[in-house]
Amino acid sequence: MAVLAGVRVLDFGRYVAGPYCATLLGYLGAEVIRIEKRDGGEDRYIAPIAESGEGGVFFQTACNKKSLTLDPASAQGREIMQRLVRTADVVVANLPPSGLQSLGLDYASLKTIRPDIILVTQSSFGDAGPLAERGGFDGVGQAMSGAMYMTGTPGHPVKSAAPYVDYATAVLAAFGALAALMQRAQTGQGQEVKTNLLGTAMAVFGSHLTEQSVLGINREPTGNRVQTSAPSDVFATRDGHILTHTVGNGLFRRWATLMGDADRWSNDPRFQSDQSRGDHSAEILARMRQWCSERTTDEALRELQAAGLPAGPVHTLQQALDQPQVAAMQALHAITDFPGLQRPAQVPNLPVRLSVSGGGITHRPPLLGEHTDEVLRSLGYSSKAITALREAQVI
């Protein structure tokens, strides 16, 4: 039986942090109802891949969900929302505090409707401090945490293409929702779970910030080169690039042996610790660059693997999709039944395996408003009432 079978989640989220939090709960068996505007949320149409405009972001954040269109600002829409809340266990909404209050989605308002409700929020900067009411996206968290500065090179900060702040915030929010559900099962009490992008970004980049707080060394960015070990960088081969990360004296001794001049590297007083090797990496990196330049990517990876050294190829997007390891892990789920796709959409599945409970993608993303009538009927609305709501442009 699915872990969250019987749990109803209302998803008022937008873009990634809120919607993907609800998606993760849906992957664990919760019934997730996505509530969006009558013409669809903005996140539905980012990077379109279907004839109707649905995009890649939506496919990753909307599987296993039902879709209800609603104007929550109208009086009738507010009534529908309140009926929904009475039936729900969890409400997910990534809005600033004022936005939550204007829609009646703040915790105080929700508690008057259902006292044991769990509200899960994702904001940009939390609900206190001078930036509390500001909006933001993943890149803002990367920028303000110091990560973008250190990812680049001096004078050229670089944002990660992977929106890790958004997705990590969603994971933390789902983690908090599970903790709140456990607490409610024990005490009968609901609660509010708060996450924010800047807090997540600071946590993910925490080791660098902790070092700075103690030592104040003001590291300068070095792109792909790791400053606390060597050889840890991206290296060009005869036909591509590979990344290696050599951490610890044991791995460094293996690397030195592979290079064929182990005594030189192992006995040099500059190379006796990770940090020392990071501080004096020029010769190590030059040797590794020469070694890689003499080999193809496959040749280099085979030799590194035989030596027990972690390494991986730098893949294009298509190569990432096509690699046999991804297929063996069943990391992607092919969506074949969404209307208007030229080819199956490969969507990352739940990257957690539960040996008893299962979980993951079971249904394609919903069409806009696909389940509106079904959900309203479950709330007691008649067919005539639903027609009237549609004519009044409430749904």
Q: Give the model confidence (pLDDT) of 188-246 as tens digits.
A: 999 999 999 999 999 999 999 999 999 999 999 999 999 999 999 999 999 999 999 99
What local confidence, expressed as pLDDT, does residue 354 receive?
92
Residue 41 has pLDDT above 90, yes or no: no
Q: Is 194 helix (H, G, I), strand (E, B) or coil?
A: strand
What local confidence, expressed as pLDDT, does residue 301 receive?
97
Amino acid at residue number 134: R
φ/ψ region of 387 (left if φ > 0, alpha if ψ in -120 to 50, else beta) reads: alpha
Distance from C-alpha of 379 to C-alpha of 312, rounded to nearest angstrom: 52
Query: Which structure tokens are listed for 181?
Result: 């559900």
Percent of the chain with pLDDT over 70: 100
Distance from C-alpha of 71 to C-alpha of 100, rounded to nearest angstrom: 15
What are residue 91's DSSP bridge partners? 10, 119
Q: What is the pLDDT of residues 322-345, one digit of tens each?
A: 999 999 999 999 999 999 999 999
- Residues 177/10, Cβ–Cβ less than 8 Å: no
Residue 42 has pLDDT above 90, yes or no: no
| Average pLDDT in the chain | 95
Q: Starting at the earlier edge strand, list the strands of the sheet with 311-313.
A: 233-236, 241-244, 311-313
- Which domains, and CATH codes, for the chain? 8-204+324-391 (3.40.50.10540), 241-313 (no CATH)
Residue 96 has pLDDT above 90, yes or no: no
Q: Can you give the pTM of this predicted structure?
A: 0.93
The Cα-based distances of 280 to 103, 230, 269 in angstroms read 57, 9, 10
Taking alpha carbons only, the member of 24, 27, 31 closest to residue 10 is 31
What local confidence, expressed as pLDDT, does residue 248 receive?
95
What local confidence, expressed as pLDDT, does residue 73 receive?
84
Distance from C-alpha of 249 to C-alpha of 230, rounded to nearest angstrom: 10
Residue where the block lists tokens 């703040």: 106
Q: What is the pLDDT of residues 107-155, one digit of tens each?
A: 999 999 999 999 999 999 998 899 988 888 999 999 999 999 999 999 9
Residue 169 has pLDDT above 90, yes or no: yes
What local confidence, expressed as pLDDT, does residue 213 receive?
97
- Cα pseudo-dihedral 209, 141, 352, 323, rounded to 10: -100
The Cα-based distances of 200 to 92, 140, 195 in angstroms read 17, 12, 8
Residue 386 has pLDDT above 90, yes or no: yes
What local confidence, expressed as pLDDT, does residue 133 receive?
85
Distance from C-alpha of 170 to C-alpha of 175, rounded to nearest angstrom: 9
Which residues, in sequence order, are CB contacts of 215 under 8 Å at separation 6+?
none
Q: Is 121 helix (H, G, I), strand (E, B) or coil?
A: strand
Distance from C-alpha of 290 to C-alpha of 89, rounded to nearest angstrom: 59
What local confidence, expressed as pLDDT, does residue 61 receive?
96
Mean pLDDT of 176-199: 97
Neighbours of 213 (CB within 10 A): 8
Percent of the chain with pLDDT over 90: 91
